[in-house]
Structure 1
Amino acid sequence: MSLRDRKRARTRQALVDAATDLFERQGYDRTTVADIAAAAEIGTRTFFSYFASKEELLFPEADTRVQAVIAAIDSRTPDEGPAEVLLRALSTVPDTGDDMVGPLAALRLELTRTVPAVRGRALQIQLDAQQEIARRLAEAFADRLDLVQAAALTGAFIGAITGVLQVLLEGPDRITTPADLHAAVRTATDTALAPWLRPGA
């Protein structure tokens, strides 16, 4: 990355860290955008060049993960079916620790349960991701999938990931490392997509 890109990445992470701390200490509703910006030592107007709202701060890597799946679809090989492509995409998705297994992940789960605005944003992100991935799958594998089948496959894939994250973040033996999380997610998606896999895949 260029110096400018590195600086933007640091500022973006500072905002996420500041928001996580403030949400935990004083609550989501009592924390304002101005509070977060001040804690990250930037202006309130500058905040909106990084995130559209407080809710967005809780899902900092959502678009990156969708783009990783789309890149896997675009780089498919002739011997890969749609399920194999989705499973391969898991190996290219960034394992950003705090976003998936650290304080931010647990906080996001709790706020999704208790804050309607966060729950709405989480559902919208998931719906948008499913629609985009299903559309790209149907286009890429037009000889094997129609849009309904692509939506079903994508729903099984994302549903498996969502389900295992909820179990792991709520359970007494919480996953604490990205590697362990990745292994658990892979087990869940292997199970969910087994009916779609080619023999021997």
Structure 2
Amino acid sequence: MAKAPGLREEKKQRTRKALIEAALLLFDEHGYEATTTAAIAAAAGVSPATFFNYFASKEDVVFADQHVYDEVLAQVFATATAEEPVTDLVFRTIGAFATADAWSFPFEHPLTSVRARLLASVPALRAGLLLRNSQVGDTWARALCETHPELDLPEAATIAGAVIGGVQAALHANLDDHGRPRRPEAEVGLRAIQAVMQGFGNVQKA
């Protein structure tokens, strides 16, 4: 059983989450470029110096949960075997991503949608997302190759890249002119994965 965090660690986690929440709310209200790190710190009730104890920049706040991907991949592939079909393994990985406790906010939380809108609309963040998605894809592809030796690295990279890129493209296309999701994001993401893994000829109209 995992050891419960001590009081000091709990305080650090609360402060970190408060900074993320304050930043996303300010980005949503005032815009990413117009929001300063000092404003984020003030909204979270901490000093500017404390902000930089947790994050190096505004961009780092938006990508605060990036570490979760590596953690989830490590957990999933620790129990993966060559007997588990690749398609099942991909869906299990996506399910683990969606339900991981380590995210700052649940998938259905309003601030998750705020983050999605930022990633879709702010050029610097879109560039950062592409880089980070590429890194996640590389890690995922290597793990797939280790578990399923019948896959070479280009094949595994194609699977990981198609899933990651497909979900991101689907979520972006699901946003209306005001950056709000037209349909539930979990539903859109799942159908994107199904389209990639089952083949486009099998996609049924919802």
TM-score, with structure 2 as normaliser:
0.77
Q: What are the superposed Cα offsets for residues 99-142 of structure 1, whole Å, 9 maximum, x if unpaired? A: 6444434433443344332122111111111112112222332x
Structure 2 counterpart of 1:112, from 119, 126, 129: 119
CA shift in 2, pair 1:85/1:100, >3 Å: same
Q: CA RMSD in A?
A: 2.5
Following the alignment from structure 2 to structure 1, what is the Cα–Cα distance between the partners of residues 181 and 134?
A: 29
The 5 A counterparts of 1:39-78 are 39-78=43-82
- Structure 1 unaligned runs (5+)? 176-180, 196-201
Match of 2:21 in 1: 17
- Percent identity (aligned): 33
In 1, the alpha carbon distance for the partners of 2:35 and 2:13 equals 23
Pick 1 or 2: higher relative contact order, CA cutoff 8 A, min separation 6.
1
Superimposed CA distance per residue, residues 55-110 of structure 1 (whole angstroms, 9 cap, x where no aligned partner): 12223323213421332122103421333212111222244595644443443344
Gaps of 5+ in 2: 200-206
Contact kept? 2:113, 2:181, Cα under 8 Å: no
Instruction: Determine helix, strand or coil for the equivalent of 1:48.
Output: helix
**Contact 1:19/1:36 (8 A) holds in 2:** yes
- State the TM-score, normalizing by the size of structure 1: 0.79
Partner of residue 195 from structure 2, selected from 174, 186, 191? 191
2:24/2:115 contact within 8 Å kept: no
| Stretch moving more, 105-114 or 49-58 | 105-114
- Higher mean C-alpha displacement, 114-123 vs 102-111: 102-111
Alignment of 1:38 with 2:45, yes or no, is no
Deviates more, 1:144-153 or 1:120-129: 120-129
Task: Within 5 Å, give how 1:35-184 maps onto structure 2.
Answer: 35-95=39-99, 100-141=107-148, 143-170=149-176, 173-175=182-184, 181-184=185-188
- The CA distance in 2 between the partners of 1:39 and 1:121, in whole Å, is 25
Contact 1:101 1:169 in 2 (8 A): no
Displacement of 1:146 after TM fit? 1.1
Shift of 1:20: 1.6
